[in-house]
Chain A
Amino acid sequence: MDVVTSLSTWLRGCLSGFGIITREFPEACQIPLKEWTNSGLKSLVRNYGDIFDVVNDQILFLLRKIEGSLLALPWWLVILLIVMVAWHASRSRWLAVGLALSLIIIGMFELWDDTMRTLAIMLIATTITVLIGIPIGILMASSKYIQAAINPILDGMQTMPSFVYLIPVVFFFGLGNVAAIFAIFIYAVPPMIRLTNLGIRLVDAQVVEAAEAFGATSSQILWGVRLPLAMPTLLAGVNQAIMMALAMAVIASMIGARGLGAQVLRGLNNGNVGMGLEAGLAIVVLAVILDRITASYGRRLDYSQTA
């Protein structure tokens, strides 16, 4: 009732506003999106605040666990683990040696702990992105109408300046790591969704038809044929998501994320170019490591290329 009466008053005011010809845009015709958004957010927090708290606590708990163990392990063991994963993914000696060297250089910059903190945030943000992005991508691939509905939302998410959604994220989760993780998620999830959708749609229609001809159900086709064959594209999505996430590292630190981004920010505030450069290089190293590992896995799973 409330909404209807306020809407009708606004409409009436708006119509009468257009009746008078003035230089200024008629005041009565303005859409108060600001107020609507703010009151909407407020009521969200008022009604579902508990849920946000629970989510906040869970993520924080996980983050502490991962960050804690990464920091507790001796540096050489962490390097060894990363090198082993890289080896498993690529079977390339040069990549393994290169990654080990660059990680050692990070240690020499005295940025080891901050790198581990950033890595922990990246791991969690990417995991959430993947867990939410892939199902949405699958949904999007299931119908052209859903695709048409989701696409503009993704466009909006990617073109909207990231500062705009930093505000509501902080509103819900307060300043800190969790808010940063969510900001990263919003920025990183569109490529994950898009590439999942694309990967599934690009699966050879003849192969899918073959599965259908043998009477496979939709879920048998999805899990047994579409997803495995979409894997290289899916991993390209994971790769993109990680790159987007790292690109957000500095911006995320503005709302309280710790780690390398915070170092860059401190360098910026103090006019300390060297400090910013060191932290920036460490971010690049992290990006290269994660990129090479995911890209190698993507190539390994591409059955159309390798024999």
Chain B
Amino acid sequence: MAKIDVKNLYKIFGPRPHEVLKHAKKGAPKDEILTKTGHTVGLTDISLSIEAQETFVVMGLSGCGKSTFIRCINRLIEPTAGEISIDGRDVLALNKSAVKALRREKMGMVFQRFALFPHKTVLQNVAYGLNVQGVAKDERQERALHWINAVGLDGYEHARPNQLSGGMQQRVGLARALCTDPEILLMDEAFSALDPLIRREMQDELIRLQKELHKTIIFITHDLDEALRLGDRVAILKDGRLIQVGTPIEIVTNPADDYVRAFVRDVNRARVLTAKSIMEKTETLPIHTSPREAAKIMTLQHRALGVVVDNDHRYRGIVSMAEASAAIKRGENDLQGVVKERAPTIGPDTYLTDLLSLSADSAEPIVVLDDSDLYLGTLSRSAVLTALAGKSDIDDNHIGSDSKGLVETPEDTGAAG
């Protein structure tokens, strides 16, 4: 069961939303509804589910309904139609006090413009959620201090928000949201008001915290780089409609339409694509294969190199066609004598940006291995360059797939896209 399930969610702003809902359901576009009825469509037919412990990013241009969406989840905005359930519980059926209890117990929220309480100290701000819950003062302070330290604000607990820089204020905002230990974190453009450097720092902070905390995070942003960096999955909204949901790699490599394509055109693919997503899985050569057999397989595959594994499928090294031929001439009956560990090896989740220099320095392809040295695939230099250039449309069964068989040469893929 998904943590948060959203089905056919609509939000229409104006005095008579339910009358206008009919038009929206028939698919009338947002600007037509605005000119005809004076109502603003915030969200149209949004259905998606958010898994526990994932960071789910909602992205889109300003005014596309991101804030409206996140506020429907905790009902700061009442949806016009649709269903929202959290842990299988229908949120829209809750009465006012039950909604408040839900917000108190399950959710923390971080705001674009921080929205700290200016009359309270950092400590009181962070402790606010516990205060609202009625937790005793000593415990409140202790827990608040823990989170103040966790976001790196030790020593500032008695400062007031307006004595802090923007980045520090948002750290307070983050600590305030985390202090009640909520399962769900709602972050509405939490880092958008910060300078690029500070923003980057806060993203790292969030990634670091999430590694320990495993919250279900809904993160809103209008910045694709931020979305791809933070999101386990990314949803793209346009004019209140959901255009695409997918992992960052899927979004970048398989944009659903021109709108998304325009978005991802300028993205730094090297920061999104991983070794796993572009590697080629070739047939491996067990170490006891005869050199003659090895040469035959390589010829069939149009390859100059073979990947050699031992009996446990552990990586042993590579062998070239020339070396195989030499072994045949010498009359050797396995690959033991010619296999060499000269190719660089990396893990499957290495970002392209981190393996570029490896690729440039090495004449050999890069070999991708998992934690226990099992062979996963290889990366030729041309495959890396092609992926960087954004020419290859990487198909789904390629991503993390086990499919064996021959891999197209880079020149073939180059024509696509």
Contact = CB atoms under 8 A, between A and B. Distances in A.
B101 interface: yes
B366 to A, nearest CB: 47
B223 to A, nearest CB: 21
A213 B101 contact: no
B119 A303 contact: yes
B109 A213 contact: yes
Interface string A291-305: 000000000010110
Interface in B150-171: 160, 162-163
Given A209-B76, A303-B162, A215 B119 contact: no
A214 B109 contact: yes
A206 interface: yes
A206 B104 contact: no
Given A213-B103, A216-B132, A206 B118 contact: no
A228 B129 contact: no
A58 interface: no
B76 A228 contact: no
Contacts of A303: 118-119, 160, 162
B128 interface: yes
B104 A210 contact: no
Given A229-B118, A303-B119, A304-B118, A210 B111 contact: yes
B318 to A, nearest CB: 56
Contacts of B74: 213
A217 B100 contact: yes
B309 interface: no
B102 to A, nearest CB: 7
Nearest to B182: A214
A110 interface: no
B13 interface: no
B368 interface: no
Contacts of A304: 118, 162
A214 B103 contact: yes
B132 A220 contact: yes
Contacts of B176: 214
Contacts of B163: 307
B103 A206 contact: no
Contacts of A301: 119
A225 interface: yes
A288 interface: no
Interface residues of B, number: 29
Contact of A207 (B105, B118, B129, B180): B118
B117 interface: yes
A211 B119 CA distance: 13
Contacts of B133: 215
B101 A215 contact: yes
A305 to B, nearest CB: 9
Contacts of B180: 214
A205 B344 CA distance: 57
A212 interface: yes
A209 B104 CA distance: 13
Interface in B104-142: 104-105, 107-109, 111, 113, 115-119, 128-129, 131-133
A210 B162 contact: no
Given A215-B102, A217-B100, A307-B163, A210 B118 contact: no
A112 to B, nearest CB: 40
B227 interface: no
B193 to A, nearest CB: 12
A198 B279 CA distance: 64
A212 B76 contact: yes
A302 to B, nearest CB: 9
A211 B103 contact: no
Given A213-B76, A229-B119, A303-B162, A206 B113 contact: yes
Nearest to B105: A215
Contacts of B109: 210, 213-214
Contacts of B305: none
**Which of A213, A225, A229 has the largest count of B CB atoms less than 10 A from its CB?**
A213
Contacts of B105: 215
A19 B176 CA distance: 75
Nearest to A228: B119
Interface in A194-244: 204, 206-207, 209-217, 220, 224-225, 228-229
B186 interface: yes
Interface in A80-119: none
Given A206-B115, A209-B115, A216-B132, 8 more contacts: A207-B118, A212-B76, A213-B76, A214-B128, A215-B102, A215-B104, A216-B100, A303-B118
9 contacts: A207-B118, A209-B111, A213-B107, A215-B100, A215-B101, A215-B102, A304-B162, A307-B160, A307-B162
Query: Which 10 residue pairs across A and B have the least CB separation, nearest first?
Result: A215-B104, A215-B103, A303-B118, A210-B115, A213-B109, A206-B115, A215-B100, A214-B129, A228-B119, A216-B132
Interface of B: 74, 76, 100-105, 107-109, 111, 113, 115-119, 128-129, 131-133, 160, 162-163, 176, 180, 186
